[in-house]
Structure 1
Amino acid sequence: MSSANLTREETARRAGSITLRDIRVELDLTGAPERARTGFPTITTLSFDAREGETWVDFIGESVSRVVVNDEDRDVRYDGARILIDGLTAQNTVRIEAIAAYSRSGEGMHRFHDPVDGETYLYTQYEPADSRRVMACFEQPDMKAAFTFDVTAPAGWHVLSNQSPARVHEGIGMQRVEFEPTLPISSYITSVAAGPYARLDGEWRRDEQQIALGVLCRASLAEYLEGDEIIEITRQGLDFFTDAFAYPYPWGKYDQIFVPEYNLGAMENPGLVTFTEAYISRGAATDAQRGARANTLLHEMAHMWFGDLVTMRWWDDLWLKESFADYMGAHASAAATRFTDAWARFANSRKTWAYRQDQLPTTHPIVADIPDLEAAKLNFDGITYAKGAAVLKQLVAFVGEDAFFEGARRYFAAHAFGNTTLDDLLDELEAVSGEDLRAWSRAWLETSGVSALWLETDAEGRRFLVQDSGEVAPRPHRLRIGLYDQTESGLRLRERIELGIHEERTEVEIPDADLTVLNDDDLTYAKVRLDERSLASVTESLSTLTDDLVRGLIWSSLWNATRDGELPVERYLEIVRRHAPAEPNVALLSAVLLNAAFAVHHYTRDDGRAAARRTWVEATWSALQSADAGSDAQLSWARAFATASAYDDAFAENIKAILGGEAPQGLPIDADLRWLLLTALAATGHAGAEEIAVERKRDDTATGRTAEICALSSRPDAEIRAAAWATAWGDLSLSNDHLDATIAGFRAGGRRDLIDAFDAEYFSRLRAVWAERSIELARRLVIGLFPASDSTDDVDAWLSQNADAPGALRRIVIEQRDDLARELRVRAAQD
């Protein structure tokens, strides 16, 4: 095993022998604007007590030049990931001087040069184990300490960290900023950002507490930053969580910074939360996009308590923060902001992610077995986030909302600034609710797989609610059943019936109805099957349902049945074509459009796919023409039309007209939509390098340059696709975003005829790329270039011949293989 891949066992031993007190980190970032400079000086001073004479400190960087233990210089023993330290006494001070590397992969200290104004921007991203790319540290969540950052940077830059500056020393062309020490936190949530960011300030007050708020982004994006709305959501969230958790926000200030080339949606660094710039729209944005941003703002804010104040001991309890934050993001959005449809969005998008992940052969319990860091990296998945949040919603239904929040309050009070496991949380919830949550936990948190629910009627007319939980015992469900009747104005609710089930078959007294929704209000986590009468009703009248959440549940049920091969793809697409143009909730509409496009390109039979693509692009064009001018729906259909047009060129001339200025009335043709449309032309051979160069000149920004890479690689020429293939694997200078764009161009238009010759080479490269590239970039290559062939034979052979490959690599390949096998099964089911 690589020395960079820390295990649960060895870090537990280290935590048992070391008591960490505080850490001082000195960073010299003055050379960051110099592109030729690859690294920066970093000095870490660690103070700790030791019960053994030796240990190691984690660091991944260019070099280590000096190690001083208790004022004595020691030989540097460094293998590229660990610095060995011996001669320790009961109390120790260790100083390590090194050179860290600037990152282009979004791991560690990421450096970005803005092509718009030439300015340089820095930010850090660490979770789960990349703080060691910036400082020498004990890289594990259960070794908390007070961190003091001392950062030297060019004059005129904003320099930020978790705490506010204590002192600022101005020099010639530089500044040195020493920050206040943090409260005890784990290394992975420390943070530094530096650069000429644009900043908007605000404030939040509650009783005697006054919190300074800051929202930052690159200067070239400042005109697009909806800072006032972000600050408003922040204030609403701080109001809500302060009341809900009865524990004052503990981190002193609340800066939120939107950064380029970010690998995640956001990261909960206390006092300095980082977000992807994707949440800043350079042109038109739908309210669904703003709702998603609000959800993420509140998700990260929930982490200030769940994760930062109280932290899991090791990554197998990652859910203790992520599931709670995902739940709280939706709950707080619905309860405290204007985005009251948050649970409808959750039901139709986040849970789709969970259902997909939970049906893979690599599924795992919410409380997972995470033996090492590579496994931890891959467990930031749909189970840990979305399934965990859905199961927490079921827990709230099980114990009651008041008991749930009172248990959370006791949990924070008992474990503030500490580390916990599942048992610690269950202790508090059981004490408040009086329920046996160990049994509930065994059923929900410690098993894997999706339950399915449906109604059956026997020969005597008795009705049974049936659940199939696969290989695990039936789970307890608290749920509501909605009964809807067909009226002159469409489907309308007659009544909701509340009940609890825990058996495989439960006899229920449920009257007949035109539509029966088994998980109304979405209280539990299960795939719900529609009976034939209900399916007929929604086929006819889905868009007449007035409740966003109910429609979201129906759309989700239809999609799950399609993925499982139980609902014919053409019938699903017929329902989409009929009812999606009337879907008033743009978040639901956006999710449905993504699912429908996936069904067209992956689930239709080979001999019918071209016709399905033509029908789909025609449907998107028709809906675009009929959508209300200037509406969010119009923009959503325009994006769907542009994406569909990369696979079928029926409307190439219409696209050229739009790009030439003849857009449908009210449709904002911003830079991002222009690139989508132009890339569709490029992928179908109707635009070439000249047109792409003109568009790049029009949009010479970071986003424009990334879009140019994708468009150029999308051209339907075998040599161009071969060049994209070689670049993706071989160009080590590509940033994370540029790698994604290259891969997207290579795959553009579903043109297997241009790329299938690389299938065998793909499998020959896997082990080398996993060993040589960072896990983030390797993962993008392994997933993005996986062959979409008509057989699993090649991947089966690789898995058989590489049983000794790293577990994280095998997991990704197994998951890609399962997705391919599902596609083949669903296509076969269309016979």
Structure 2
Amino acid sequence: MTTSNLSRDETAARSSTIRLETVEVDLDVRSAQDLATQTFPTVATLTFAATADETWIDFLGDAVESVTVNGSDRPVEWDGARIRVDGLAAHNVVTVRGRGRYSTSGEGLHRFRDPVDGEVYLYTQYEPADSRRVYPVFEQPDLKARWRFAVTAPAGWQILSNGAEVAREEVPGGVRVRFAETLPLSSYITAVAAGPYHRVDGEWRSDDRVVPLGVLCRASLARHLDADEILDITRRGLEFFERAFAYPYPWGKYDQIFVPEYNLGAMENPGLVTFTESYVFRGASTAAQHEGRANTILHEMAHMWFGDLVTMRWWDDLWLKESFADFMGAHAAVAAGGFPDAWVTFASRRKGWAYVQDQLPTTHPIVADIPDLEAAKLNFDGITYAKGASVLKQLVAFVGEDAFFRGAQRYFADHAFGNTTLPDLLSALEAESGRDLDAWSRAWLQTSGVSEIAIERDAADALVLTQTDPRPHRLTSGLFTVADGRLTQRSTFEVDAVEPRTLLTGATGAGIDLVLPNVDDSTYAKVRLDDDSTDAAASYLSSIEDPVARAVIWASLWNSTRDGELPVARLVEIVSEHATRETNIALVTDALAHADVAIGRYAAANDRSLLADAWLETCWNALWAAVSGSDSQLAWARALGTAAARSADRADEMRAILAQSSPAPEGLALDPELRWAWLVALAATGHASGADADAELATDPSAQGHVAHRTVLAARPDSAVREAAWHAAWDDRTLTNDHLAATIAGVRAGDRRDLVERFDAEYYSRIRPAWAERSIEIARRLVVGLFPSSDSLTDVDAWLADNLDAPAALRRLVIEQRDGLARELRVRAAQPAAG
């Protein structure tokens, strides 16, 4: 373990001897506009009580210049990650002066230069442990402090932190801004942003309080910022959560800033929430995209209570904030956000993520064992978020919605500004519901894996619910019949299923065309349809009235394909038949993506080309048949761009549409995102050149344009081009996080293994050095993005056998990639012979 990879045990030992009171931070980023300057001055003063003679302060900066303990200068003892301080008294004031380093990886203080106008923007991203890249801190969630920030930056910039601005003074070369002291916060949710951001102001009134609201983005994106919609969702959410949690929003102002080159969807810094600027839609956007943004806004807002007000003690209990925020995002979107189908999207998208993650050999309980920070970084996954939220949905049904929210209210009242573990939450819920949650917790929070549920029809037409890996499920099964060309639900049966087999008392399969366990998606389990039900879905899926039931069926079909039970060709046939008539755009988008992935990963090699050509033709025809200007039209246009990376059959027509020498489908907005997506696909099949990429960049010189341009150049199907891109990904340290991702996307474009397979051995020789030398975010992108999708497990198995001493987090990534490859090989082998 390196000194930067903090462990649970050592941080627990530190917090047992430290009571942190305040942290005062002074940053000077006047140098940010000079890209040749890589560092900035940073000063932190920590005030704390101590019962030990010595401790350490975390700092991953460029230099430590001085350390003062209780007014006395001390020798600098710093190993690059930890600053040793000794001779502590009962009460201490420690000041550390140093230099931080501007980041281009999205970790710490990220610096971005806008290619449109040359302006420079800064923002911070810390979770789980990167505030120590910007200022010296006690980097662990259970050492909360009141924070006072001062930031010196160029004049004319927006300068923000968690608290409201309280003072401003001109200084040589800029302005110094001081911010109000915060209420107690963990270090990972402190935040700073600075730059010439465009700002839209608003407010939200609650009784006699006024909460100032702000929405910010880069100046060059200002014309695309639909601030009114964002502010409306924000007001709705604040009103809902204050009422639901019976605790006033505690953080003063509520700024939301959309930032470039962001590694996440968003981050819940109180008073200064950061979002990926992909939520600023530069062109056409579907209802599902607006729902997704609203869900994220509400997810982060839920964190103002779950995570910020009450925080987990250590990352084992990360679920105490992320599972709840994931649940609350969908719940609030339905209850207050104006998106009644949010649970449909959840059933399809979020649960799909959880099912994939929960079948990996590295799956873990929702309440995980997280020994160190590297493990914590990788546990921001489908288990902690989506499975946890799915289980909470069950819990709400189990204890009752009113009791659940009363329990949450008790939890916040009892633990405000403190740190908690699982028993703290369960005791609050038990007190309000009268339910014993010990057995529920053991069954759902402290186990791993996913049950597979199905309904068997016996010879007498009795229906029996079966489940693998048995858990207690309270679920509803729906029975459907075909009438007038539609699948209509005739009856439902609720059951408490605990054992491997449970009779559906009173239910009969006679005359039933489709039986659907978990018809309302109330439990967490993979649904397997029987053969008759699959046939009925194949013919009539889009005719089912309830979108949740359709979502459960779409998910079942996809899981069956991934498991090798449903042939890829049949899935593609069902998608081709029903996605054109599916009315929920999120389900359309997911179905199209699944068809593409199925062809690329799971189709037998001999069938892939034929399937790819047929799928391209389906996308082309569906695009032209779609209603003008509809979300469905846009979804099919995007799917066409993905499909064209494997099949060039419509390359000439697509080039003509891009060149405007041939008309596009009526109503289709050929916005920059869609144009670039088509151009990447054309490049992957050799139908777009570097000159085409340059010409497109001239019309769209935005940051997004520069990223896409890089992908187009790397995607050209020339072995020398792919080789240069492959080595640039590993060796070019000037690549930002987004530029690295773009380069990797080009290397992988069109699934052209033949152009890069000669680098397989070199991949395995590079991943350990990369893990040791690069930040975890950059190393993760390299390890996952460039993993060789070969036709054998020999190389990856050899690396795992030879690297038993590799860092656990690195081994986890490789094991997960190995499992994905093993699944691909297994499913390909199970495909029926063509014809």
TM-score, length basis structure 1: 0.99
Contact 1:157–1:197 (CA<8 Å) still a contact in 2?
yes
Q: Deviations along 1:146-181, whole A, 9 cap, x unmatched?
A: 000010011111100001011111235411110000
Q: 2:426 is matched with which residue?
A: 426
Counterpart of 1:15 in structure 2 is 15
Matches of residues 336-355 of structure 1 in structure 2 within 5 Å?
336-355=336-355
Q: Map 1:291-370 to 2 at 5 A.
A: 291-370=291-370
- What residue number does 2:383 align with? 383
Aligned partner letter, 2:496: G
Question: 1:176-195 alignment to 2 at 5 Å?
Answer: 176-195=176-195
Question: Once structures 1 and 2 are overlaid, which stretch shifts more, 171-180 or 388-397?
Answer: 171-180
Which moves more between the two structures, 752-761 or 259-268?
A: 752-761
Counterpart contact for 2:493–2:504, Cα < 8 Å: no
1:114-142 deviation line (CA, Å, top 9, x unaligned):
11111110000000000000110000000
Residue in 2 that maps onto 1:574: 573
Look up the match of 1:246.
246
Match of 2:545 in 1: 546
Moved more, 739-748 or 679-688: 679-688
Q: 1:775-802 CA distances to partner (integer Å, 9 max, x unpaired)?
A: 0000000000000100111000000000
Q: 1:520 maps to what in 2?
A: 519
Counterpart in the other structure of 2:788: 787
Structure-1 residue corresponding to 2:464: 464
Query: What corresponds to 1:804 in structure 2?
Result: 805
1:455-511: CA deviation from partner (whole Å, max 9, x where unpaired): 123445543211111xxxx21111111222211151122232222121121121223
Q: 1:689 corresponds to which residue?
A: 690
Aligned AA for 1:30? R
Match of 2:159 in 1: 159
SS in structure 2 at match of 1:463:
strand
CA contact (8 A) 2:461 2:508 kept: no
Counting only pairs closer than 5 Å after superposition, residues 72-87 of structure 1 correspond to structure 2 as 72-87=72-87
What residue in structure 1 maps to residue 710 of structure 2?
709
Deviation at 1:547, TM superposition (A): 1.7
**Is the contact made by 2:462 and 2:508 (CA closer than 8 Å) also made in structure 1?**
no
- In 1, the alpha carbon distance for the partners of 2:804 and 2:574 equals 44
Matches within 5 A, 1:815-830: 815-830=816-831
SS of structure 1 residue aligned to 2:96: strand
Does residue 532 (structure 1) correspond to residue 531 (structure 2)? The answer is: yes
Q: Tell me what 2:624 maps to.
A: 625
| SS of match in other structure, 1:177 | strand
Looking at structure 2, the residues matched to 489 and 574 of structure 1 have their Cα atoms a distance apart, in angstroms, of 19
Question: 2:552 corresponds to which letter in structure 1?
Answer: L
Paired AA for residue 379 in structure 1: N
Percent identical residues: 62
Q: In structure 2, what is the Cα distance between the partners aligned to 1:516 and 1:161?
A: 54
Q: Which residue of 2 aligns with 1:559?
A: 558
CA distance in 1, matches of 2:399, 2:474: 10
Q: For the residues of structure 1 that align with 2:144 and 2:51, how far apart are their CA atoms?
A: 17
1:54-96 deviations in whole A, cap 9, x for unaligned?
Answer: 0000000110000000000000000110000000000000000
Q: Deviations over 1:711-759 (max 9, x none)?
A: 0000010000000011000000100000000001011111111111011
- State yes or no: 1:507 paired with 2:508: no
- The letter of the residue matching 2:345 is R
Q: Are 2:747 and 1:746 aligned?
A: yes
3-state SS of 1:337 partner: coil
Deviation readout 1:675-695 (Å, 9 max, x if unpaired): 111111111111211111111
In the other structure, the counterpart of 1:614 is 613
Other-structure match for 2:396? 396
Q: Conserved in 2, the CA contact under 8 Å of 1:482 and 1:516?
A: yes
Equivalent residue, structure 1, for 2:591? 592
Q: Which aligned pairs between 1:750-761 and structure 2 lie closer than 5 A?
A: 750-761=751-762
In the alignment, which residue of structure 2 is the partner of 1:605?
Answer: 604
Deviation at 1:237, TM superposition (A): 0.5
Per the alignment, residue 455 of structure 1 pairs with 455
Residue type of the alignment partner of 2:352? T
Q: Give 3-state SS (helix, strand or coil) of 2:65's partner.
A: strand
Looking at structure 2, the residues matched to 557 and 321 of structure 1 have their Cα atoms a distance apart, in angstroms, of 29
Distance between the aligned counterparts of 1:739 and 1:596, measured in 2? 27
What does residue 490 of structure 1 align with? 486
1:768 alignment counterpart: 769
Q: Which secondary structure state, in structure 2, belongs to the residue aligned with residue 84 of structure 1?
A: strand
How far apart, in 2, do the equivalents of 1:537 and 1:675 lie? 39
Give the corresponding residue for 1:480. Answer: 476
- Equivalent in the alignment of 2:224: 224
CA distance in 2, matches of 1:483, 1:248: 45
Task: For 1:143 and 1:18, locate their aligned partners in 2 and report how far apart those are by CA, in whole Å.
Answer: 8
Amino acid at match of 1:738: H
Unaligned runs of 5+ in 1: none
Cα offsets for 1:249-293 (capped at 9, x unmatched): 000010000000000000000000000011111111111111100
| Partner SS, residue 64 of structure 1 | strand
Alignment of 1:644-655 (within 5 A): 644-655=643-654
Moved more, 571-580 or 371-380: 571-580
In 1, Cα distance between equivalents of 2:500 and 2:669: 52
**Equivalent residue letter for 2:291:** G
**SS of residue in 1 equivalent to 2:241:** helix
Is 1:233–1:294's contact at 8 Å kept on the other side of the alignment? yes
Question: Deviation of residue 532 (structure 1)?
Answer: 2.0
Map residues 114-263 of structure 1 onto 2, 5 A cutoff: 114-263=114-263
* Matched residue type, 1:111: R
> What CA distance in whole angstroms lies between the structure 2 residues aligned with 1:531 and 1:797?
39
What letter matches 2:272 in structure 1?
L
Contact 2:57/2:83 (<8 A) preserved: yes
| 2:229 counterpart letter in structure 1 | E
Structure 1 position 531, deviation (Å): 1.8
Give the SS at the match of 2:580. helix
- Unaligned runs of 5+ residues in structure 2 are none
Q: 1:479 & 1:396 partners in 2: Cα distance?
A: 13
8 A contact 2:307–2:321 mirrored in 1: yes
Q: Which runs of 4+ in 1 moved over 6 A?
A: none
Shift of 1:335: 1.0
The DSSP-based 3-state class of the residue aligned with 2:31 is coil
Contact 1:397–1:478 under 8 Å retained in 2: no
| TM-score, structure 2 as length reference | 0.98
CA distance in 1, matches of 2:288, 2:706: 26
Report if aligned partners of 2:485, 2:540 keep a CA contact under 8 Å in 1.
Answer: no
Tell me how far apart the structure 2 counterparts of residues 89 and 151 of structure 1 sit (CA, whole Å).
Answer: 30
Q: Which amino acid aligns with 2:493?
A: I
SS at match of 2:675: helix
Number of residues of Structure 1 aligned to a counterpart in Structure 2:
827
Write out aligned runs for 1:408-427 (5 A): 408-427=408-427
**What is the one-letter code of the residue matched to 2:479?**
L
SS of the residue aligned with 2:495? strand
Change (3 A) 1:461 1:635: closer
Q: What is the identity, as a one-letter code, of the residue corresponding to 1:547? A: D
Whole-angstrom distance in 2 between the partners of 1:137 and 1:175: 25
Instruction: Check whether the contact 2:685–2:717 (CA below 8 A) recurs between aligned residues.
Output: yes
- Counterpart residue type for residue 775 of structure 1: I
Q: Secondary structure at the match of 2:518?
A: strand
Q: 2:631 is matched by which residue type in structure 1? A: D
Q: Which moved more, 1:654-663 or 1:344-353?
A: 654-663
The 1:460/1:543 distance shift into structure 2, 3 A limit, reads closer
Check the 8 A contact 1:620/1:640 in 2, yes or no.
yes
Report the residue type matching 2:587 in the other structure: L
Query: 1:51 Cα deviation (Å)?
Result: 0.2
Code of the aligned partner of 2:589: S
CA contact (8 A) 1:769 1:778 kept: yes
